[in-house]
Amino acid sequence: METLSGVLAIVRREFRTGLLVFACLCCGLAAHGQQPLRTLLVGVDRRPDVSLDGDWHYLVEQPPFGNLYRSDGRVRDDGYARNTHPNISSGPHNAEYDFATAPTLKVPGDWNTQDPTLFRFEGVVWYERDFDFQPRANTRTFLHIGAANYRSFVWVNQKRICEHEGGFTPFDCEATSALHPGSNFVVIAVDSTRHEDDIPSVNYDWFDYGGLTRDVSLVTVPMQFIDDYDVHLKREPSFSAVDSKTLTGYIHVEGSGAGTPVTLRIPGTGVDAQLTTDAEGRAEFEVKAAKLNLWSPESPNLYPVEVTAAGDRITDEIGFRDIRVDGTRILLNGNPIFLEGVNAHAEAPYRTGRVCTDEDVKNIFAFLKDLHANFVRLAHYPHDERMERMADRQGIMIWSEIPLWQRISFDKPDVYAKASAMLNEMIRRDRNKASVILWSVSNETPNNPVRTEFLTRLAGEARRLDGTRLITSALNSAHMKDGAMVLDDPLADALDVVGVNEYVGWYVGRPEDADNMHWVLPQKPVIFSEFGAEAKFGNHGAKDKRWTEEQQANVLEHQFVMLGKIPQLRGVTPWVLMDFRSPGRNIPGLQDGFNRKGLLSEKGEKKQAFRLVQKVYAEHAVGKAD
């Protein structure tokens, strides 16, 4: 039997070899036994929870962020994470900070639009919040974070429970062993500093809003719980409206082995299935519905889907539909479709800042409906889950994307691991959303072999993760050849649908150059995923006067002439629904820190371009589904 000093000697040696260092870096808890689970609870917005949204105290750290990182980059657990209080009137000198008397920020929300001194701040902001909690026996509790930009480190009662990288996808950290009855506190350090090997990398055309930008809550589940499920219409080799009543998928019960009973009930379809988990806690199924109304923009049918297992229960709302490619056509439930859409950033209408409220989402969808859009490209990162929920209900189809925007460190294996993690999180959160028809792995990346190998692999991973949706990417590598615009980017081979970004009439050439422009494109469905021009709302002039509403509308008019001639065109998404903040857009009086390619100003003011696109979509005047 090893003596204690013997054990300590081993630990020190392990430390030297870095094995335990990694584990400690991961969550600093290996030395304390049970490693808290960091997961992503599917359908978490359908679970009862204790919301921690509201006012959180905050402290700002300037580089080198000494309370978060040691000089060797490792994370400190003995800085602000301890949430100590200064001895003011008596007692020895101690740490000079105090969350309890610090100002507050609203969560969810970015810090940039809440505290004027933080408007352009990129760095570390510490958040702290006290909460009362009564742990229940035989349950596990997770801290759910909808999103935090960019890197976040989470402590509950001084115990580090998890960390996460990526500003636009959710994560759930197990807090069970850190919680105690009565008053508890959570401290979260969020670091929005940009780094070369981040995703996106250091340079991107949107504002680096930092903070706890989406909902935060406590979710309690039984010891064995449903953490992931997939319920979708079985993808038959060919689609037939009459036969398409088979639902398939899986339910995963975390913490359970083989033999755990699982029920799947879908009222209104006659589905009431008794399933059993395998050794991995997974219950796969294929069940026939007696009756099934498929989801489409015209009839966005959603069904309550009730899943129970091991004392856990979750009821989601899911639509069932079939989306596939047939040659150069996109078929929804067997019918050819044309996508009349627009790009949208997660910039809150009227108030600016990150979209994070029901109100924000309601406003955006009001604009989409007013535009007669049936499709929206959520640029360039996964948006708040409210967007997908609303799209499911309102029958708007979605292009969802991970932020591999232009230059990414494609030659770095750990960057691939990050991209893969973001892809997995995006697909896991939204795989049951009927509105999401396209997963995009990147935007405007340089056409070279290292990038193509990286993204082809990522596209393959997306297809393995979800074989029921279409894989795409926005390419801007088209070039003039023999008088034609040729897109011969090898990445297109890995895609089901090809996105094309071009700015003829704004960044290149004159608006009218589009009229006679001939495109040579892959024999696949093509979506022109970006085109447009900048205009300041209310700035008027001749239609060839740049920055005017007239010129912007003129560019789009010529674009629609050009696009209407492209046989494999199956969708259009002008850049962009609303003006949005971007640090590189600094022409005073015209841009003032905003990208002005919106069809609407950031205040929701309609530019002439909005009315033009509205009319084109009302008359279905551009493109053909077949």
The distance of closest approach from Cβ of residue 151 to ligand GCU in the complex, given in angstroms and rounded to an integer, is 22
175 vs 404, beta carbon nearer ligand GCU: 404
The distance of closest approach from Cβ of residue 416 to ligand GCU in the complex, given in angstroms and rounded to an integer, is 21
Tokens of 528: 């022109």
Give the footprint of ligand GCU on residues 363-402 (CB under 6 A): 380
DSSP state of 116: G
248 vs 406, beta carbon nearer ligand GCU: 406
152 vs 476, beta carbon nearer ligand GCU: 476
Contact predicate 290/270, CB 8 Å: yes
Whose tokens are 């078929």? That residue is 331
352 vs 443, beta carbon nearer ligand GCU: 443
Binding mask 510-529 for ligand GCU (x = CB under 6 A): --------------------
The distance of closest approach from Cβ of residue 388 to ligand GCU in the complex, given in angstroms and rounded to an integer, is 21
DSSP string, 482-517: TTEEE---GGGGG-SEEEEE--BTTTBS-GGGGTT-
* DSSP H or E segment with residue 453: helix 449-465
Contact predicate 210/121, CB 8 Å: yes
191 vs 530, beta carbon nearer ligand GCU: 530
Give the footprint of ligand GCU on residues 4-43 (CB under 6 A): none
Give the footprint of ligand GCU on residues 52-111 (CB under 6 A): none
Interatomic CA distance for residues 29 and 38, integer angstroms: 13
Interatomic CA distance for residues 62 and 75, integer angstroms: 16
Contact predicate 429/366, CB 8 Å: no
Please name the residues in contact with 411: beta carbons below 8 A apart, sequence gap of 6 or more: 450
Pairing type for strands 470-475 and 303-309 reads: unpaired
Interatomic CA distance for residues 579 and 595, integer angstroms: 6
If binding means CB under 6 A, how many residues of this protein chain bind ligand GCU? 9
Cα 510 off chain centre by: 35
Q: Does the protein bind ligand GCU through residue 443 (CB under 6 A)?
A: yes
501 vs 573, beta carbon nearer ligand GCU: 501
214 vs 380, beta carbon nearer ligand GCU: 380
Tokens of 82: 């301890």
Binding mask 482-511 for ligand GCU (x = CB under 6 A): -------------------x----------
Q: Does the protein bind ligand GCU through residue 575 (CB under 6 A)?
A: yes
> How many C-beta atoms surround the C-beta of residue 585 within 10 A?
19
The distance of closest approach from Cβ of residue 534 to ligand GCU in the complex, given in angstroms and rounded to an integer, is 7
29 vs 402, beta carbon nearer ligand GCU: 402
Contact predicate 39/142, CB 8 Å: yes
Report which residue's Cβ sits closest to ligand GCU.
Answer: 205
Interatomic CA distance for residues 127 and 618, integer angstroms: 47
**Positive/negative CA dihedral, 440, 578, 595, 148:** negative
The distance of closest approach from Cβ of residue 352 to ligand GCU in the complex, given in angstroms and rounded to an integer, is 16
Interatomic CA distance for residues 436 and 375, integer angstroms: 10
Please name the residues in contact with 267: beta carbons below 8 A apart, sequence gap of 6 or more: 303, 304, 306
The distance of closest approach from Cβ of residue 444 to ligand GCU in the complex, given in angstroms and rounded to an integer, is 5
Intra-chain end-to-end CA distance of the chain, in Å: 76
The distance of closest approach from Cβ of residue 423 to ligand GCU in the complex, given in angstroms and rounded to an integer, is 19
171 vs 537, beta carbon nearer ligand GCU: 537
Of 163, 444, 461, 489, the one binding ligand GCU (CB under 6 A) is: 444
Interatomic CA distance for residues 186 and 130, integer angstroms: 6
The distance of closest approach from Cβ of residue 92 to ligand GCU in the complex, given in angstroms and rounded to an integer, is 53
375 vs 575, beta carbon nearer ligand GCU: 575
The distance of closest approach from Cβ of residue 475 to ligand GCU in the complex, given in angstroms and rounded to an integer, is 11
Interatomic CA distance for residues 344 and 358, integer angstroms: 16
176 vs 501, beta carbon nearer ligand GCU: 501
Nearest to 587 by CA among 539, 530, 554, 544: 539
Binding mask 159-198 for ligand GCU (x = CB under 6 A): ----------------------------------------
Contact predicate 97/80, CB 8 Å: yes
Of 530, 549, 550, 602, the one binding ligand GCU (CB under 6 A) is: 530
Of 61, 163, 205, 461, the one binding ligand GCU (CB under 6 A) is: 205
DSSP helix/strand/coil, 580: strand
Q: Does the protein bind ligand GCU through residue 295 (CB under 6 A)?
A: no
The distance of closest approach from Cβ of residue 427 to ligand GCU in the complex, given in angstroms and rounded to an integer, is 22
83 vs 476, beta carbon nearer ligand GCU: 476
Q: Which chain residues interact with ligand GCU by CB under 6 A?
A: 205, 380, 443-444, 501, 530, 575, 595, 597
